[in-house]
Amino acid sequence: MGEDPSTGRAPVSGAPEPEQLQREIEQTREQVGDTVEALAQKTDVKAQAAQRLQDTRASVSEKRDQLVGKVKEASPDSAASVASQASQTARTNPLPVAAVGAFAFGFLAGRLTRAKNR
């Protein structure tokens, strides 16, 4: 095998070649660079706040679009048609409408009377 490396003579067998050492150094540099970049991203509060703001805006925009879709489904045209249909039903069959009205009036009068007695 080889001699003692401290003597400066022949290298000890099993020592890595310079090319291999260079490759290992380059790999380590890349890994350290990736780690530093990841740490920098985690500690960049301004960038994180900007990302959260962008995510929130996207979420709000999506919810707004959903709400607009629901409002369009329940547009005044459909509300007017429901009111018209209810009015037509009341005209053709007034007795159930009168009964419901009388019940609602009695219920509200009872609630008001009870609230005044407290």
Q: What are 12's two structure tokens?
A: 């000890």
Q: What are 48's two structure tokens?
A: 């994180």
Question: In this predicted model, what pLDDT tens digit does every residue of 30-71 receive, in sequence order?
Answer: 999 999 998 888 888 888 888 889 999 888 888 888 887 777
> Between these two residues, 57 and 9, which has the higher pLDDT value?
57
Question: In this predicted model, what pLDDT tens digit does every residue of 94-110 receive, in sequence order?
Answer: 787 778 888 888 888 88
- Total-model pTM: 0.34
DSSP H helical ranges for 74-93: 76-92
Which sequence spans correspond to the domains of the chain? Answer: 17-117
Q: How confident is the model at residue 6 (pLDDT cuts 50, 70, 90)?
A: low
User: 51 φ, ψ to 5°?
Assistant: -65, -45
* Among 40, 17, 41, 21, CA closest to 29: 21
